[in-house]
Amino acid sequence: MDQPWLARRPNDVPNTIHPDEYSSLIEMFENSVRKFADQPAFVNMGTVMTFRKLEERSRAFAAYLQNELHLKKGDRVALMMPNLLQYPVALFGVLRAGLVVVNVNPLYKPRELEHQLKDAGAETIVIVSNFASSLQKVLKNTPVKNIVITSLGQMLPRAKGTLVDFVVKYIKRLVPCYNIPGAVSMRQAIRRGRRLQYVKPRVEGDDIAFLQYTGGTTGVAKGAVLSHSNVVANVMQAKAAYNSLFSEGRDLVVTALPLYHVFALSMNCLLFIEMGGQNLLITNPRDISGFIKELQRYPFTAITGVNTLFNALLNHEAFRQIDFSHMRLSVAGGTSVQRAVAEKWKQVTGKHLLEGYGLTECSPLVAGNPYDETEYTGAIGIPVPSTDVRIVNDDGEVLPFDQVGELQVRGPQVMQEYWQNEQATREVLTEDGWLSTGDVVRCDEQGMFYIVDRKKDMILVSGFNVYPNEIEDVVSMHDKVLEVAAIGEPHHVSGEIVKVVVVKRDLSLTKEEIIAHCREYLTGYKIPKLVEFRDELPKTNVGKILRRALKEQNMTLEAQQTMEQA
């Protein structure tokens, strides 16, 4: 198969990696602990945890799970917490016990939490007290039998941790009342585990490491089955693609995206563990002022995020005062990067914002802009080493790379299946291993891929395809626009018309200015016919704008208006 991207790949980036470099994530972790024992692995709220301390705590927690809870290889353990030192302890404790990690969004509503716990068959959960009341509401409807509870300050020095927990619970009132008999504190579990014998299980590459649930933005959340080999391979693919920007044992990556999300889990936590790097964990990235104060304290070399996060930082005056001289890598993923954000990022930091592409089902990295790219391309880049890609039409027929169609992926990072969902698996995964991404792409002569859009988000105007990303990119270039989402609105003549929902940067902005601006850059049928202003846009917890939520809100409003008219 023709692979035009091979010529675009930097000379020091290999075309293939060795996916079996480590037999499991356990071996990868143990190797890093031996090499970097006394170096810092994680820092949170000013408290540092070294690789040695992470090894000791995770081993104790693994022993507790094995001996006191009597969990067996393959049992599922849910982790429901934000970015805290407790997360990597629990993560590696679960993996080292031969168990399966089920990451859960802490902001899930009880209904969403119940679905995931039942679907995964998780009998054990590690949860932060802030969210225990949600668990209590659904506990009797789930298979959960073992509850380990921690608090935001539990792994900080005792005096500081006590103060943090007091403020969170009694001043800010962020811990709703709950009553869960039989729950054990994580501190107590680790203390008990230190007195117990840890037995290293026999874990092979094909064994399940994660049930990583999709965001649920396109329907009911499904658990992508990611094996140890899947995740190890993806870590090695990312390392191979960007190794020239890393310095083993000396990097500090800013981790603002939650570790329960596959992007931060694989690209921040696991990748930088393998390289002996340090993770700066940001517990509440929505507190931009507090976030920036943390950035000012540390000479960070790398930062990852999504478009909305970078946009929020750039719009805070204090961000410009940060020393960026140590930063070598800034990566955006999860959703498309807008030109206005990328160009302003380079202007402020002096460094190019590299865009990557991945999905939960691919552990997650599939493609990324080459590290030697210096300007905004609008592309998701080229496939990472050992990754095959192709473009297909609606009938599944393979198209030449110069045509637009759905992207399919095959490689060692592609999931095994959707957990206990054979039908959903068959819909996206072929017998010979090709995964249908649901993303419409095009490829240029250099092998650089561009997301045209999600198939289901496409707007059809009088038979012409309109892709929301293009509209959003144009509108976001307007100086008075802070954020924008484009959706299709039903129309009796053209089928659909383009509607944009805008958050103002400058309150003087008018609908007429938006439309006039679009006329400069877009052909007639792409120009928004409707403009709505809002104070904020609906987003997932990692910052993706939810177009579907905007569409549903429109449908609800229309239904109400119809009923009123009747």
Residues 502-552 have pLDDT tens digits of 999 999 999 999 999 999 988 888 999 999 999 999 998 788 899 888 988
Asked whether the domain spanning 459-565 has the same topology as the one spanning 50-203, the reply is: no
| pLDDT at 219 (0 to 100) | 54
| pLDDT at 4 (0 to 100) | 93
- Which residues in 53-104 belong to E strands, given as ranges? 76-80, 100-103
| pLDDT at 466 (0 to 100) | 85
DSSP state of 429: B
List the structure tokens of 75. 């049992």
The helix or strand, by DSSP H or E, that contains position 144, with its residue range, turns out to be none
- Which residues in 400-472 belong to E strands, given as ranges? 405-410, 417-418, 435-443, 449-454, 459-461, 464-466
How far apart, in Å, are the Cα atoms of 485 and each of 332, 360, 520?
18, 23, 19
Q: What is the CA radius of gyration of the chain?
A: 24
**Unique residue bearing structure tokens 């950035």:** 295
| pLDDT at 316 (0 to 100) | 96
| pLDDT at 454 (0 to 100) | 74
Q: Quote the CA–CA distance of 72 and 221 in Å, as a whole number.
A: 26
Q: 326 near 295, Cβ under 8 Å?
A: no
| pLDDT at 224 (0 to 100) | 97
Q: Quote the CA–CA distance of 407 and 367 in Å, as a whole number.
A: 11
Question: Which residues are registered as beta bridge partners of 147?
Answer: 125
CATH number of 459-565: 3.30.300.30
Which residues are within 8 A (CB) of 264 and not within 5 positions of it... i.e. 6 or more apart? 83, 255, 257, 258, 304
| pLDDT at 462 (0 to 100) | 78
List the structure tokens of 421. 């969902």
**Unique residue bearing structure tokens 């928004």:** 528
Q: Quote the CA–CA distance of 440 and 82 in Å, as a whole number.
A: 32
CATH class of 50-203: alpha beta
For the chain, the structural domain boundaries read 50-203, 459-565
Q: Quote the CA–CA distance of 410 and 435 in Å, as a whole number.
A: 6
Q: 532 near 501, Cβ under 8 Å?
A: yes
Closest C-alpha among 536, 2, 565 to residue 286? 536
How far apart, in Å, are the Cα atoms of 97 and each of 78, 194, 198?
14, 14, 8
Q: Which parts of the chain register pLDDT below 50?
A: 216-218, 559, 561-566
Residues 357-414 have pLDDT tens digits of 999 999 999 999 999 999 999 999 999 999 999 999 989 999 999 899 999 999 999 9
Concatenate the DSSP letters of all residues of 478-535 into one string: STTEEEEEEEEEEETTTEEEEEEEEEESSTT--HHHHHHHHHHHS-GGGS-SEEEE-S
Q: Quote the CA–CA distance of 443 and 433 in Å, as a whole number.
A: 22
What is the widest separation between alpha-carbon atoms in the chain? 73
| pLDDT at 541 (0 to 100) | 78
Q: Name the phi and psi angles at 484, rounded to 5.
A: -155, 145
